Amino acid sequence: MWIVTGGCGFIGSSIIAGLNARGITDILAVDDLKSGQKFLNLADCKLLDYLDRDSFRAKINSGYSFGAINAILHQGACSDTMEYDGVFMMENNYEYSKDVLRFAQSMRTPLVYASTAATYGASTQFIEREENERPLNIYGWSKLMFDRHVRARMQTLTAPVVGLRYFNVYGAREGFKGKMASVIYQFHQQCERTGVIRMFEGSGTYAAGEQRRDFVSVADLVKINLHFVQGKSPSGVYNAGTGKSRSFNDVGRAVIAAIGKGSIEYIPFPEGLKEKYQNFTEADLTGLRKAGYTEPFVELEQGVLQTVQEIKTRSA
């Protein structure tokens, strides 16, 4: 059995689809379906079973046996960077992850979990080192705390544990993420509806739309997850991005080219966001490459075109 938490979410469902593409269907998907329409992300996937997140957590904390487990891919978390309820965030992202880690270790099962580039926050260096970890919000700090929890146990692990610091992930299964969907998805929706893509004005030393991020296709993230889930690479925390930053203007132009219409307008930042905004991210891939992941990454223009085409297919 393979366990994927956050299995109805954007990245979790993409991983399940990736496992299916490799002929794997004995998958337990774990999620919270209070937003019931998320099931559509798994409508085209094959599963062994589904379990509610709270039920899953109760079972792993009670010593319940799921039988033989190949690996756990822990994607379940609150990823809303604008969520300010620290109690809620730490319970969902930190305490829950500690429970999953304890269970994986007790079963001697490889664990690959989702961390985030938000752990770097105010830093201008994106290397997996403590001096670069400066989160700007409770989301980034909750993820960093779990990274530190894992690092403190590296010498006593009974099975491999890998944290992947996701940079700006985009893809076609984002329809239920709302305001937390990638800018690629949001720009696509805006352009289709109105013919206009709206992005933020300049900030810091960056001109309007020239802020730069490391945009990584979810197809590449699936490959990275499934590379590490084999348990053949060293345990650790690794960046999961392309290693190449691109501007928001680049993204807008790629979306317009993929749709065949549109223009760009610039808008002011919402109150309070400008001071906490990451103007630049770019993954350092030294650690990832040393850990044995050698695959090339999808270029932004190709990835955006593929995403737009898949969105059309899924909505047809």
Burial class of residue 40, CB neighbours in 10 A (0-12, 13-18, 19+): middle
Number of residues in the chain: 316
Mark whether 170 is an active-site residue: no
Strands 111-116 and 161-166: parallel
Contact by Cβ (8 Å): 162, 230? no
CA proximity to 107, closest of 182, 2, 23, 202: 2
Phi-psi region of 292 (alpha: psi -120 to 50; beta: other; left: phi over 0): left
Instruction: Report the C-alpha gap between 96 and 127 in whole angstroms.
Output: 26
239: β partners: 165
Burial class of residue 299, CB neighbours in 10 A (0-12, 13-18, 19+): middle
Contact by Cβ (8 Å): 42, 85? no
Contact by Cβ (8 Å): 8, 39? yes
Catalytic hit among 46, 50, 59, 177: 177
Instruction: Report the C-alpha gap between 92 and 99 in whole angstroms.
Output: 11
Catalytic hit among 94, 96, 113, 139: 139
Instruction: Report the C-alpha gap between 38 and 167 in whole angstroms.
Output: 23
CB within 8 Å of 299: residues ≥ 6 apart: none
End-to-end C-alpha distance for the chain, whole angstroms: 32
Tokens of 253: 């132009």
Mark whether 139 is an active-site residue: yes
Residues recognised as catalytic: 139, 177
